[in-house]
Homo-oligomer: A and B are copies of this chain.
Amino acid sequence: MRSAERVAVIGTGLIGTSIAMAGARAGDQVRGFDADPDALSGAVERAGLTPATDLDECVRGATIVFVCTPIPVAAELVVEALDLAPDAVVSDVASVKSHVMVEVELRARVDGLSRYVGGHPMGGSERSGPDHASPSVLDGIVWVVTPAERSDDASIARLEGWVSRVGARPIRMDAERHDRLVAMVSHLPQVASTALMGLAASEEAGEPEILLLAAGGFRDLTRLAASNPHLWSDILLANGAAIGRAIDLYVERLEALRDLVVAEDGGGVESAFAEAKTARLQLAAKPQVRAGVAVLQVPVPDRPGVLAELTSTMGEAEVNIEDLQIVHSPEGGLGTVHLTVAVDTVEAAERALHERWFESTRLA
């Protein structure tokens, strides 16, 4: 088993720089390039990677190349990397796979195609740019690996081996299936949120008071609508067929619910809601798919000062709280706190909680 690689990263944003850092942590040599000099110098500062002055210098001699650019230029850079680095496995991290794969297959020399294996690390962060990169962004995440028809077994194994070595979890599926699944659970929620916010905004033109009546549920449903329009336009167009189908299936569900409501079929409405509720409660019990973090569930009583005790326990243990969510119990009281911490601090967090008599359960 190959234990160290010469890694080239093209595109040193959040994911590219995190990949560079994870490789360096695992003992790899890492070189990076970005067409934007600020992104590149940010990555040098953050990750200590060796900057290349151009693509050629970046990938020459590499054994594994990651293309971490926006979707529209990913395929072109994969093809160049296959040419410039004849010994390297070349992968990309685009969030839509078939589109990139088809473009690569159209453009690349056939003898290079065996070394191309797509991938999609299901991590990241709502933050962007190299300054927020961290090897922990990849810790424990699902990294979908999508071999193309001509990818050879050795290249697939090299990519999967590297993914495991840096602490992520490779899951192999074909590109079409990946795209169909993310259309449903990632792209469709984005479309559903945007459509709801757009509809309420257009109603507001004639009904200025409408948003006075909007409460927490509306806010939850429309939070995603604040996402980057340009980025999402790229993603949706690249996955158009699967998204079209996901929207159609969603519209069918909505119309079925509408028909039950209009027909005053209370039993039918109630059983559709009960089915969704069961599924949602099961989802809540599953570990969150999130980058490099662990979630601790801590039951807490409802009294002033208890959160202070909890967070100062973390502070004293020098554990940085990445996120903290209060889950109110239906039986009342504060209920439960979900404490999100970096994976490499979770054991310290658990020890500290135990010493202060908090119970904790690791969710992810």
Task: Report which A residues bind B (CB closer than 8 A).
Answer: 122, 125-129, 131-132, 142, 144, 171, 173, 177-178, 181-182, 184-186, 188-201, 203-204, 207, 209-227, 229-230, 232-234, 236-237, 240-241, 243-244, 247-251, 253-255, 257-258, 261-262, 264, 266, 269-281, 283-284, 286, 288-290, 302-316, 318-326, 328-330, 332
Partner of A320, one of B221, B275, B302: B302
Contacts of A191 in B (CB 8 A): 254, 257-258
Cα distance A135–B214 when bound, in Å? 21
Q: Are B127 and A280 in contact (CB under 8 A)?
A: no
Q: Are A330 and B223 in contact (CB under 8 A)?
A: no
Q: Are A253 and B199 in contact (CB under 8 A)?
A: yes
CB nearest to A270 among chain B residues? B233
Q: Are B237 and A261 in contact (CB under 8 A)?
A: yes
Assuming the contacts A189-B218, A198-B272, A221-B224, asked whether A213 and B182 have C-beta atoms less than 8 A apart, the reply is yes
Cα distance A237–B305 when bound, in Å? 44
Cα distance A207–B258 when bound, in Å? 27
Kindly name the residue among A125, A190, A262 whose own CB sees the greatest number of chain B CB atoms within 10 A. A262
Given A233-B266, A302-B320, A304-B318, 18 new contacts (CB under 8 A): A131-B332, A186-B215, A192-B221, A192-B254, A195-B250, A198-B275, A199-B249, A214-B289, A220-B220, A226-B281, A237-B269, A305-B314, A305-B316, A307-B315, A307-B321, A308-B312, A308-B313, A311-B312
CB distance from A131 to the nearest CB of B (A): 6
Interface of A is mostly: helix
Contacts of A237 in B (CB 8 A): 261, 264, 266, 269
A-B contact pairs, 9 of them (CB 8 A): A127-B330, A186-B215, A193-B221, A226-B284, A232-B273, A233-B273, A247-B258, A310-B311, A322-B326
Assuming the contacts A189-B221, A249-B199, A255-B247, asked whether A304 and B320 have C-beta atoms less than 8 A apart, the reply is yes
Cα distance A320–B303 when bound, in Å? 6
Contacts of A218 in B (CB 8 A): 185-186, 189
Q: Are A248 and B258 in contact (CB under 8 A)?
A: yes
Contacts of A261 in B (CB 8 A): 236-237, 240, 243-244, 247
Q: Are A308 and B314 in contact (CB under 8 A)?
A: yes
Q: Are A288 and B318 in contact (CB under 8 A)?
A: no
